[in-house]
Structure 1
Amino acid sequence: MTRPVLYLFGSAAPPVREFPEVVRRAQAEGFEVCVGLTPTAARWLADDVGDLAEVTGRPVRSEYKMPGESDVWPKADVILVAPATFNTLNHWALGLTHHFVVGVIAEGIGKAIPTVTMPCVNAAYVQHPQFDQSIATLRRAGVTVLYGSGGFEPNQPGERRAEGYPWHLAFAAIEQIVSRWP
């Protein structure tokens, strides 16, 4: 059996800096990993991009390919979008696909690729009326959104949790998806 292909996509929130460890964990759990980053997240991880490409055997992508270029990644079996910022979630829910990551995950809904997302937003952002609408839109579209009880719970602006970002919840969700395959 071939290893399932995981598209691991991250936005510019502090947990994206943990991607080198997250990629190794995903590989240890049996996934072939392709890493995609929003443009700002790519800048944050500029020193790690080469290592991530080497470890995964695939280029790290943050931009669309040119028309006519062949795709350098295999097709995704599952997508994990974490950390997902306020901006990324709202763009995705609204179908605003000017960034590579958002374009792929928006299209993934139409292709029925199982997708899990876990926000990383603070308590001030979630007060904006669009946030709840975006979460509801993504859930209606079939995206597993790990937010609220049993998922990511917002902290106050400028605070970080001592226990860190709950990556274990994201991994449990993608493992559950893969375990249902024949």
Structure 2
Amino acid sequence: MTRVLYLIACAAGPTQHVDDGIRAAQADGWDVYLILTPSAARWWEPRMDELVELTGHPVRSQYKLPWESDALPKATAILVAPISCTSLNKWGAGITDTVALGIPSEAVHMGVPAAVMPYFNQAQGAQPAVARSVAVLREQGVLVLDGADGYESHPPKQGDPKSFPWDKALAGVASLIAA
């Protein structure tokens, strides 16, 4: 049986290296469908064909129009990584103004296992809305991979996007599937 992973990436540093995450997921046996926030899609715009070739699928960054057919099969699991502070708080508040937030926001209430791994600095993480959003997502059954179990926020201006722990993110997804 084909295992379908929606990999959803926001405009956070590691999205520059989302191809590493795709390759890691494919090595774990996932058929990866990539969904980007509109800002993240702009980062990859000159090289979008690389992502299409790597996944073998169109990359989504916009809601489809009503008369368009959906190119996405049913997901086995969803991984939102990296999730930015902005996207985390929007999802926690129920704001689904992008396809990258609308899909997981709905899917978790349809029984699709979902994990998120943040990537933002300690100053952003100190905003009270972050703790509230994490709590809201966890209440909905979303596995939030932060701290020692995922990504530990870095001091401002000291992040290392290239070393984003895709292996921990994929291990989190595997734990959801095994449960």
Which bracket does the TM-score occupy, shorter chain normalised? over 0.9
Give yes or no for contact 2:10–2:37 (8 Å, CA) kept in 1: yes
Once structures 1 and 2 are overlaid, which stretch shifts more, 119-128 or 168-177? Answer: 168-177
**Count of residues in correspondence between the two structures:** 179
CA distance in 1, matches of 2:70, 2:105: 17
SS at match of 2:81: strand
Residue 88, structure 1, aligned to residue 102, structure 2: no
Q: Which position in structure 2 is the counterpart of 1:78?
A: 77
CA RMSD of superposed structures (Å): 1.5
Q: Whose relative contact order is higher, 1 or 2, with alpha carbons under 8 Å and at least 6 apart?
A: 2
**TM, length-normalised to structure 2:** 0.94
CA distance in 1, matches of 2:67, 2:160: 45
CA displacement, residues 56-79 of structure 1 (integer Å, 9 cap, x when unaligned): 221100000001321111111100
SS at match of 1:124: helix
CA displacement, residues 34-77 of structure 1 (integer Å, 9 cap, x when unaligned): 00001111011113321111222211000000013211111111
Q: Which position in structure 1 is the counterpart of 2:125?
A: 126
Q: Which one has the bigger helix percentage?
A: 2
Decide whether aligned partners of structure 1 residues 51 and 137 sit closer, same or farther in structure 2, where only a CA change above 3 A counts.
Answer: same
- Identity across the alignment (%): 40
CA distance in 2, matches of 1:85, 1:51: 23
Residue 98, structure 1, aligned to residue 102, structure 2: no
Once structures 1 and 2 are overlaid, which stretch shifts more, 25-34 or 134-143? Answer: 25-34
CA distance in 2, matches of 1:33, 1:162: 21
Give yes or no for contact 2:13–2:161 (8 Å, CA) kept in 1: no
Decide whether aligned partners of structure 1 residues 147 and 160 sit closer, same or farther in structure 2, where only a CA change above 3 A counts.
Answer: same
- The runs of 5 or more residues in structure 1 that have no matched partner are none
